[in-house]
Chains A and B, each alone.
Chain A
Amino acid sequence: MADVTLMKTPAETALAQAFESAKTSLPGQAESRAQAFEQFTQRGLPHRRVEEFKYTDLRAMMREIAPFAGVPAADEARAALAGAKALASVKALQVPFVNGHFVREAVDFHNLPENVEIVPLAEALAENHDWLARLSPVPWANDNPVYQLNTSFMADGVMIRIAGPVEMPVHLRFVTSAASAVATATRILVVVEEGASVTLLETHESTDGANHQPNDVIEMIAGDRTNVQHVRINAEGDKALALSTLAARIGGDALFNSINVVAGSATSRHQVFAVLDGENTNLRVNGATMLKGVQHADSTLVVEHAAPHCESRELFKTVIDNEATGVFQGKIIVPHHAQKTDGRMMSAALLLEEGGSMNNKPELEIFADDVQCAHGATCGQLDEDLLFYLMARGLPKKEAERLLVQAFLGEALEFVENEAAREALIETVEGWLKART
């Protein structure tokens, strides 16, 4: 291959212009924004020759950049939130965002549940709040171009501190209601102090028919003996290109459970970067992805076992209908000192129809000799024997298929502790299956 210096794509030029015009109005952290954007510019939008983006070529997928969304009017925000449906059945503390901007009015700051503190990010950035020092808990995430773009453009978000056990789930609700395409960049920091526990719900919804471009980053610092349950749903509109990152640093003796359910957007990429920083921690990262038409969904995962005696379990299930494309890239890193690590990563994909495709890349990088790491990947269609079994018992073919797909995805969902949230997720799966026939 000859050395070729590529010209900037129109999208890259648009991003540079957007940054140029926005950088003075974006709140705070001018220096780190400029630095992140500079890093991004050096390599540009990642393409298929960039290993981490081999299957999700953003240079080809992001031809145009949507304008960054402004702050919505109060009644627009109210109307947008009233129409939001994702996980609506779960009683939770609502922390809503419309068009990427935090809706302060919706939160009663004086009556927050015990052990919960919330600081709006835009203000914090402008005032250079103390907690900002805790942003970017996973240093190597800074190398990721999607993350760099978020750091450059982050306009709003919240910082949440969980000081002790919190009963009621905290629901981060993102709604994009703009009729025409907009880009958003939000950043959330959740600090879970030693011994604290919390259930975090995160939902993303947007209007159909518009090429929205959300880029969300959630960062979590979970201290020793914490219990974090994280449930995320991507229910974006049918034309959206959704990029998201979860970057977590988790202490010792902790439980951390995260699931991402993909039920929307034309193209999505969800990245999980987790560092296990203390011993005896138990991490579970699951994914359930439902794709149809020409949808494209990428689940990328990097787990670093930075301490010995930790256990990690990753289970990703992908159902692919029509001509959709699924991607799973997982990597478990076990450095020299992380002895007695037990890691298991599994990706299973079901191709329902001719024309779909699945790309799996379950990677291991191991330097310690007394560890157990397993990885598996399967890909295929529904088991004929199982179908036959059900049909022999009188179920019509479609019904039998539906049941099998539901059971297939159900495996990834059963670890969701919050019952109402789990029920809602199962309903989402059922809804998707019903729409299929």
Chain B
Amino acid sequence: MPAVQETIDQVRLIDVDQYKYGFETEVEMEKSPKGLSEDVIRFISAKKGEPEWMLQWRLDAYKRWLTMKEPAWARVSYDKIDYNDIYYYAAPKKNQAPKSLDEVDPEILKTYEKLGIPLREQEILAGVEPQRRVAVDAVFDSVSVATTFKEELAKAGVIFMPISEAIREYPDLVRQYMGSVVPVTDNFFATLNSAVFTDGSFVYIPPGVRCPMELSTYFRINEKNTGQFERTLIIADKGSYVSYLEGCTAPKRDENQLHAAVVELIALDDAEIKYSTVQNWYPGDAQGKGGIYNFVTKRGDCRGKNSVITWTQVETGSAITWKYPSCILRGDNSRGEFYSIAVSNGMQQVDSGTKMIHLGKNTTSRIISKGIAAGRSENTYRGLVSAHRKATGARNFTNCDSLLIGNQCGAHTVPYIESKNATAVFEHEATTSKISEDQMFYCQQRGLSEEEATALIVNGFVKDVLQHLPMEFAVEAQKLISISLEGSVG
């Protein structure tokens, strides 16, 4: 059965020609020389005032990168990227270490205003929902322009700052954890990122602390011919909790811009990290011209026992998405979750999914993925669930559905399920009606139709994170998750 009209209409609302964040901001920028070389890396490192060890780390990564080949296994195709035709560093000139928002270029502030990102703390306090406060780190091309609520967070012991600052102020923490989840040599794009990363967020939640507000980073690519290489590192120490949101947009351009980020999460004993992404990079036009190449390595390490990492992603942007937020379930009884909605329109190509690597005892994971392909797009779910020899009692449930709108697009599913432990129980399901018969029965018994019940249950997983999104497009995200998957093809 083809998709229902309501779904078609909803997907149409976010079609590539409806992109709302495609405007450009005129600010004077300072850039590194074009191309990639040791000198450029030294330039970036010097700009950030980094210690010697960091520079060495970058240079080692660069040397390694030179020997690597771009991966070709993903189901995406694009013209060869000329890595020497990109500016690896671009920062607003007037933004040399602003001490307060008043020193930030008003043009940039306007940009964030337009995007609906609250950068002024008092505005947020005076907002409609005063009880919901969100600390924001705003990254504009290669630098962080503002971070809000720093003092208040510091009172709770929470460190929330641009990573370039953290490298200077908390070198021991950064050194201990950076690269411990995504090693420098992990993959082509991660290695590139390790060599040239410019900014991103650093979060440290001390033991036993429940982060008093949601943290978020808003990434904006603005300058032409640049790439954005952000690096985020979140450490939740024993018994702590943090919810982190990430949003991204870029101007409409005919050229393709590269965004190669690395995100590392570390959850120690009894800690919990919720990481949510609303990815809305410019997707290119209906003919597939322009758009962001989103080649991202995201990985969480449930290092301690009873730790939890949850990835939630709403993917609507980017010309090409290549990303697999993963969980390494190392600690006993740790839990990994992945909720994803990927909508592709126009000529977009999405190859996304997750990896749940069960190493510890009694580890559990859940994967709920919805892929919706429209226009002439290609939408691939690629996921790995594996249990190693010692992962006694590991448990996984996977449900991945895809829906096609029109017959010019493609939806693909490539799951890998590898079990090396007899007590591990893995289930991979692709039929919506199989979610949980008990829950379905409960809902249907109370008068909901099967479809309503399914929507309710699936949305129940995702909603608790998404309904708290502070950004303007939270509304869209909400709409998206309520999209019916009636006519889902499995």
Known: A2-B68, A359-B416, A364-B402. 9 other contacts (CB 8 A): A51-B73, A336-B407, A354-B423, A360-B417, A360-B426, A364-B413, A366-B489, A377-B417, A380-B422
- Does residue B2 face the partner (Cβ distance < 8 Å to A)? yes
Which of B41-49, B119-127, B298-306, B427-435 is the interface stretch? B427-435
Produce 1/0 per residue, B397-439, CB < 8 A to A.
Answer: 0000010111111111111111111111111111100000000
Q: In the complex the two chains form, is A351's CB within 8 Å of B422's CB?
A: yes
Judged by a CB distance under 8 angstroms, whether B3 is at the interface is yes
Chain B CB within 8 A of A362 CB: yes
> In the complex, what residues of A have CB within 8 A of residue B487's CB?
369-370
Query: A364 with B490: in contact, given A352-B422, A374-B430, A378-B427 (CB under 8 Å)?
Result: yes
A93 at the binding interface (Cβ < 8 Å): no
Q: Which residues of A contact B405 (CB under 8 A)?
A: 369
Check: B1 CB closer than 8 A to any chain A CB.
Answer: yes
Q: List 24 A-B contacts (CB under 8 A).
A: A2-B69, A351-B422, A352-B422, A358-B419, A359-B416, A360-B418, A360-B426, A362-B428, A363-B412, A364-B413, A364-B490, A367-B404, A367-B410, A369-B407, A369-B487, A370-B407, A372-B1, A375-B413, A375-B428, A375-B490, A377-B417, A377-B426, A379-B425, A380-B419
Within 8 A of B (CB), among A344-394: 349, 351-381
8 Å CB contact of A380 from B67, B413, B414, B424: B424
Chain A hits for B423, CB < 8 A: 354, 380-381
Check if A1 is an interface residue, CB within 8 A of chain B.
Answer: yes
Whether the Cβ atoms of B404 and A378 lie closer than 8 Å is no
A3 contacts chain B at the CB level, 8 A cutoff:
yes
The chain A residue with its CB closest to the CB of B384 is: A361
Q: Is the CB of B416 within 8 A of A371?
A: no
Check A280 for interface membership: any CB of B closer than 8 A: no
Q: A288 CA to B405 CA in the complex, in Å?
A: 37
Q: Which of A361, A370, A379 has the most CB of B within 10 A?
A: A379
In angstroms, Cα B179 to Cα A270, docked, is: 42
Contact B409 A377 (CB under 8 A): no
Q: How far is the CB of B424 from chain A (nearest CB, A)?
A: 7
At the interface, yes or no: A339 with Cβ under 8 Å from chain B? yes
Cβ of B408: which chain A residues have Cβ within 8 Å of it? 336
A-B contact count (CB 8 A): 129
Complex CA distance for A260 and B421, rounded to whole angstroms: 26
Asked if B3 contacts A361 (CB within 8 A), the reply is: no
Bound: A381/B489 CA distance, A: 29
Least CB separation from A378: chain B residue: B427
Determine whether the beta carbon of B422 is less than 8 Å from that of A381: yes
A236 to B278, CA, bound (A): 54
Interface string of B32-73 (1 = CB under 8 A from A): 000000000000000000000000000000000001110001
Closest to B188 in A: A1
CB-defined contacts of B431 to chain A, threshold 8 Å: 374, 376
Contact A372 B430 (CB under 8 A): no
Report the separation of the CA atoms of residues A51 and B382 in the bound assembly, to the nearest whole angstrom: 13
Residue pair A1, B68 in contact (C-beta under 8 Å): yes
Q: CA A381 – CA B69 in complex, angstroms?
A: 41
Q: Evaluate contact between A349 and B419: CB separation under 8 angstroms.
A: yes
Nearest residue in A to B408 (C-beta to C-beta)?
A336
| Bound-state Cα–Cα, A391 to B411, Å | 46
- Contact A376/B422 with A365-B410, A369-B2 known, Cβ cut-off 8 Å: no
Q: Are A356 and B412 in contact (CB under 8 A)?
A: no
Closest to B428 in A: A377
Q: Once bound together, how far apart are the Cα atoms of A352 and B414, in whole Å?
A: 27
Minimum CB–CB distance from A350 to chain B (whole Å) comes to 9
Most buried by B among A51, A367, A369, A378: A369
Which residues of chain A come closer than 8 Å to B419, judged between CB atoms? 349, 351, 357-359, 379-380
Is the Cβ of A366 less than 8 Å from the Cβ of B415? no
Give every chain B residue within 8 A of A376 (Cβ-Cβ). Answer: 427-431
Question: Which residue on chain B has the smallest CB distance to residue A344?
Answer: B490
Q: How many whole Å from B75's CB to the nearest CB in chain A?
A: 9
Contacts of A373 in B (CB 8 A): 430, 489-490
> How distant is B346 from chain A, measured CB to nearest CB, in Å?
16
A contact residues around B409 at 8 Å (CB): 367, 369
- Of the candidates B418, B422, B426, which one forms a contact with A378 in the assembled complex, judged by CB atoms under 8 Å apart? B426
Q: How far is the CB of B490 from chain A (nearest CB, A)?
A: 4
Bound CA–CA A356/B427 (angstroms): 17
Instruction: Give the distance to chain A from B242, nearest Cβ to Cβ, in Å.
Output: 33
Chain A nearest CB: distance from B411 CB in Å? 5
**A3 to B490 alpha-carbon distance, docked (Å):** 38
Shortest Cβ-Cβ A-B pairs, 4 listed:
A351-B422, A380-B425, A369-B404, A360-B417
Residues of B within 8 A of A369 (CB): 2-3, 404-407, 409, 487, 489
Please tell me if the beta carbons of A1 and B407 are within 8 angstroms of each other in the complex: no
Q: How far is the CA of A387 from the CA of B416 in the complex (A)?
A: 29
Tell me how far the C-beta of A383 lies from the nearest C-beta in chain B, rounded to whole angstroms: 10
Cα–Cα distance between A337 and B417 once the two chains are bound (Å): 30
A308 to chain B, nearest CB (A): 11
Instruction: Tell me whether A353 and B428 are in contact (CB under 8 A).
Output: no
CA of A371 to CA of B489 in the docked complex: distance in angstroms? 6
State A354–B407 Cα separation when bound (angstroms): 46
Q: Once bound together, how far apart are the Cα atoms of A195 and B427, in whole Å?
A: 41
CB distance from A349 to the nearest CB of B (A): 7
Within 8 A of A (CB), among B232-270: none
A361, B68: Cβ atoms closer than 8 Å: no
A379-B426 CB under 8 A given contacts A371-B489, A372-B490: yes
Q: Do A360 and B416 contact each other (CB < 8 Å), given the known contacts A339-B407, A366-B489, A373-B490?
A: yes
Chain B residue, CB-CB nearest to A365: B412
Per-position contact with A for B58-94: 1 when CB-CB < 8 Å, else 0?
0000000001110001000000000000000000000
Q: Which residues of B contact A352 (CB under 8 A)?
A: 422
Q: Would you give the shortest CB distance from A6 to chain B, in whole angstroms? A: 15
Q: Is the CB of A366 within 8 A of B68?
A: no
Q: Which of B417, B430, B489 contacts A379 (CB 8 A)?
A: B417
Complex CA–CA separation, A328 to B67 (angstroms): 34
Q: What distance in Å separates the Cβ of B191 from its nearest Cβ neighbour in chain A?
A: 11
Quick one: closest A residue to B398, CB to CB? A377
Of the candidates B1, B68, B404, B418, the one whose C-beta lies within 8 Å of that of A357 is: B418
**How distant is the Cα of A374 from the Cα of B421 in the complex, in angstroms?**
26
Which of chain B's residues have a CB closer than 8 A to the CB of A2?
67-69
Mask of B460-490 contacts with A, CB within 8 angstroms, 1/0: 0000000000000000000000000001011
Q: Is the CB of B418 within 8 A of A358?
A: yes
Q: How far is the CA of A1 from the CA of B69 in the complex (A)?
A: 5
The complex places the Cα of A351 from the Cα of B418 at a distance, in Å, of 12
Closest to A334 in B: B489
Q: Which residues of B contact A361 (CB under 8 A)?
A: 414-417
A46 to chain B, nearest CB (A): 15
From the candidates B407, B417, B429, name the one contacting A367 in the complex (CB within 8 A): B407
Closest residue of B by beta carbon distance from A54: B416
Contacts A352-B422, A369-B407 hold; do A360 and B428 have CB atoms under 8 A apart? yes
Neighbouring B residues of A370 by C-beta, 8 Å: 1-2, 407, 487
Distance in Å: Cβ of B372 to nearest Cβ of chain A: 11
* B489 cross-chain contacts in A, Cβ below 8 A: 364, 366, 369, 371-373
Bound Cα distance A245, B161 (Å): 59
A290-316: CB near B (< 8 Å → 1, else 0) gives 000000000000000000000000000
- Name the residue of chain A whose CB is nearest to the CB of B432: A374
In the complex, the answer to whether A362 meets B415 with C-beta atoms within 8 Å is: yes
Contacts of A365 in B (CB 8 A): 410, 412
Report A4 CB to chain B, min CB distance, Å: 10
By a CB distance below 8 angstroms, the chain A residues around B426 are 360, 377-380
